[in-house]
Amino acid sequence: MKILILLMLFLLTSACSQQDVYNSAAVSKSNYSKSVIAATALSDDGKLTVVVNNQGVCLWQNNQQSTMPQCLPADHAQHIEIAYISKNNQFLYLSNRVSVKQYTTDNLQIVGEWQVADNIINDISASKSGQLLLLGFRSGKASIIDTKANKVTTFQKHRLDINAVSLSENGQIAFTGSSDKKAQLWNTSTGKTLFEFSHASRVNHVDISSDGLVGFSIDAIKDRKFWNLQTGQLIAELGTYLKFMEVNDSVFSTDKQLFLTGSPRQVLQLWRVADGALLAQWQSVMENGRASVLSVAMNVGRSETIENAKSIKSIHASNSDGIVELWHFPVD
């Protein structure tokens, strides 16, 4: 009887918790591709979207949908699998996993191209200015590229593949996750490891706040953790009972209080960093089978669509169908 009562209380608590999760319809939806896309990326503030498909590379202004995008011809899109926009919205990076090219966003002119020996690129990140570029390789190595000085520095950081990388805005701190079940925080000038976090299985995704003070790492089985990167201590774990959880992209709010994730299952979720609580959840539209959320963005704004909200977070997603959507989340 006691077990039955406890079970009922657990189910009731779960149901109440589920009701507290905010949800809303998309405010807008834009389709930026009629064919299958190879890569896409949003700028962190959601103002820019790059879409790569067999017709070329196009950069869209999301707040100016009537304006035609800037585009590069199909040869620039050949074999491209990774796209990234610098946090100051001035540079675009495209990679075929062998090399990476840097373009200006104002006219899509090539600034530079880099290839590090025979290393295969798994992930890229850049400092806010776009000057420093971080590459994570299947070899377990990581390279810091000073794009202005054209200087490449490579460190052997992990025993196995580096699956994910993230760079602080000033470019001084890197966070890398690997198949060796480790996430490492390290100094990009010296390569010195500041903290190392162990996981139950391979680390598939990492992220770091703009100031490098808070980090997130997730492995393939059960570890989904926020870290204090000043002390190396655990802040919280994501409040979910999902047995398996994947994250394609994520972003911290500027105040480090919120964390937005996008998954292969068309889902966006907004989490509270302090305790890992799930605050909101949205479903990305599906038009061609299954639409994976490939890139997410979040910024602050005001909205008349939500009553009694002093301000809102604008939540953006770009999915594998080439569709960009916008939602609003109220902030007290």
**pLDDT tens, 124-166?**
999 999 999 999 999 999 999 999 999 999 999 999 999 999 9
Q: How far apart are CA 151 and CA 136, in angstroms?
A: 16
What the block records as the tokens of 60 is 């869209």
Q: Which residues pair with 252 in a beta bridge?
A: 259
Q: How far apart are CA 192 and CA 147, in angstroms?
A: 21
240-273 pLDDT tens trace: 877 789 999 999 999 999 999 999 989 999 999 9
At 14, is the pLDDT very low, low, confident or very high (cuts 50, 70, 90)?
A: very low
Residue 182, in any domain of the structure: yes
Neighbours of 331 (CB within 10 A): 15
Structurally, the chain folds into a number of domains equal to 1
Residue 45, in any domain of the structure: yes
Q: How far apart are CA 60 and CA 31, in angstroms?
A: 11
Of 263, 210, 193, 179, the residue nearest 88 (C-alpha):
210
What percent of the chain has pLDDT above 70?
89
Residue numbers of the domain that contains 140: 37-257
Mind giving me the DSSP string for 86-105? Answer: -TTS-EEEEE-SS-EEEEET
At 310, is the pLDDT very low, low, confident or very high (cuts 50, 70, 90)?
A: low
pLDDT value at 328 more than 70: yes
Residue 122, in any domain of the structure: yes
Residue 172, in any domain of the structure: yes
What the block records as the tokens of 270 is 């907004």
Residue 275, in any domain of the structure: no
Which CATH number fits the domain that encloses residue 66?
Answer: 2.130.10.10
At 305, is the pLDDT very low, low, confident or very high (cuts 50, 70, 90)?
A: low
Asked whether 152 and 112 are in contact (CB, 8 A), the reply is no
Residue 270, in any domain of the structure: no
Neighbours of 230 (CB within 10 A): 11
Residue 51, in any domain of the structure: yes
Residue 92, in any domain of the structure: yes
What the block records as the tokens of 78 is 């050949």
